[in-house]
């Protein structure tokens, strides 16, 4: 009985830690989301051909804005 | 409301927005929270040009969000005006877009109300005929 309870607690804890890790990884992921007039959306993750150009430009803009403030 | 006032309201309402600029389709800055708004507008125009090159369909780009480890860049286009803003990392995306759209709507010049056509003069109302005197009932006597 004790063993099964410990196993359940262990699995639940593992799932929580895993979920938190995945969430953190996805939150920190660099990406570009483009929204179009017809309602379509294009999400480019870091490393894809379009994002390679957009993400450095975005970094430059953020740096520019912080220097000016 | 002018664009500068709209941006002042935006930065007051949204604590996530660090800097913002509004410019028109010719790149002319109409409002900015920064002193060097022109440089920021130019960089955003370059970013939009790069994003336009990425699109696959015919539909024009209306808004974008680019998330980096240092923060995010948001751009919203509406007609001739474009608003761009920078935030810190992990912003509330929907909320920032909502605030930017509201600011852009406020920054848009209001269309001038059309001058009312001169009201056609009403023909002078015909003078009322003097009320006919009530006929006195003949005395019953």
Name the CA radius of gyration of chain B, rounded: 29
CB contact under 8 A, A44 and B44: no
Higher per-residue confidence, A15 vs B117: A15
Enumerate the residues of chain A whose CB falls inside 8 A of the CB of residue B51. 32, 34, 50, 54
Total domains in the fold of chain B? 1
Residue B133 pLDDT: 53
10 Å CB burial of residue B11 (0-12, 13-18, 19+) is middle
Residue B97 pLDDT: 96
pLDDT digits (tens, 9 = 90+) for A23-63: 666 656 899 999 999 999 999 998 888 899 999 999 999 99
Q: Which of A25, A26, A30, A35 to mutate to test the interface with B (most CBs of B within 10 A)?
A: A35
List the single residue in B57, B69, B73 with the smallest CB-CB distance to A36.
B57
Residue B141 pLDDT: 44
Does the pTM surpass 0.95? The reply is: no
For A60, which residue in chain B has the nearest alpha carbon?
A: B43
CATH (domain of B72): 3.30.450.30
pLDDT digits (tens, 9 = 90+) for B102-135: 999 988 877 667 766 665 555 655 555 555 555 5
Between CA B40 and CA A64 the distance in angstroms is 7
Distance from CA of B123 to the nearest CA of A (A): 53
- Confidence band of B60 (pLDDT split at 50, 70, 90): very high
Residue B116 pLDDT: 66
pLDDT digits (tens, 9 = 90+) for B20-52: 999 999 989 999 999 888 999 999 999 999 999
CB contact under 8 A, A65 and B19: yes
Any chain B CB within 8 A of the CB of A15? no
Using beta carbons and an 8 Å cutoff, which residues of B are at the interface with A?
18-19, 33-36, 39-40, 43-44, 46-47, 50-51, 53-57, 59-73, 84, 86, 89-90, 93
Domain presence at residue B20: yes
Residue A67 pLDDT: 85
Structure tokens of A8? 């359940």
List the single residue in A40, A57, A66 with the smallest CB-CB distance to B46.
A57
List the single residue in B59, B61, B68 with the smallest CB-CB distance to A62.
B68
- Confidence band of B56 (pLDDT split at 50, 70, 90): confident
Distance in Å from the first CA to the final CA of chain B: 81
**Are B72 and A61 within 8 A, CB to CB?**
no
Break chain A into its structural domains and give their ranges.
2-68
- Domain around B54: 3-107
**Are A42 and B56 within 8 A, CB to CB?**
yes
Q: How many CA atoms lie within 13 A of A33 on its CB side?
A: 16
ipTM for the whole complex: 0.74
Domain presence at residue B124: no
- In the DSSP assignment, the letter for residue B139 is P
Domain presence at residue B83: yes
Between CA B61 and CA B141 the distance in angstroms is 97
pLDDT digits (tens, 9 = 90+) for B72-102: 999 999 989 999 999 999 999 999 999 999 9
């Amino acid at each position: 009985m004790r063993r099964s309870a410990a196993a359940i607690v262990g699995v639940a804890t593992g799932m929580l830690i895993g979920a938190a890790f995945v969430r953190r990884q996805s939150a920190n992921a660099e990406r570009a989301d483009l929204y179009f007039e017809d309602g379509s959306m294009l999400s480019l993750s870091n490393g894809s051909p379009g994002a390679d150009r957009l993400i450095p430009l975005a970094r430059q803009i953020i740096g520019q804005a912080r220097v000016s403030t | 409301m002018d664009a500068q006032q709209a941006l002042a309201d935006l930065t007051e309402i949204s604590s996530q927005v660090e800097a913002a600029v509004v410019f028109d389709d010719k790149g002319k800055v109409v409002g900015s929270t920064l002193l060097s708004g022109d440089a920021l507008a130019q960089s955003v125009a370059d970013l939009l040009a790069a994003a336009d090159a990425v699109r696959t369909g015919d539909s024009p780009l209306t808004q974008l969000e680019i998330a980096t480890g240092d923060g995010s860049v948001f751009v919203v286009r509406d007609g001739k005006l474009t608003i761009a803003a920078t935030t810190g990392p992990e912003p509330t995306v929907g909320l920032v877009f909502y605030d930017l759209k509201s600011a852009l709507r406020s920054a848009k010049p209001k269309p001038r109300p059309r001058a009312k056509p001169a009201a056609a003069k009403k023909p002078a109302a015909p003078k009322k005929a003097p009320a006919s005197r009530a006929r006195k009932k003949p005395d019953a006597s």
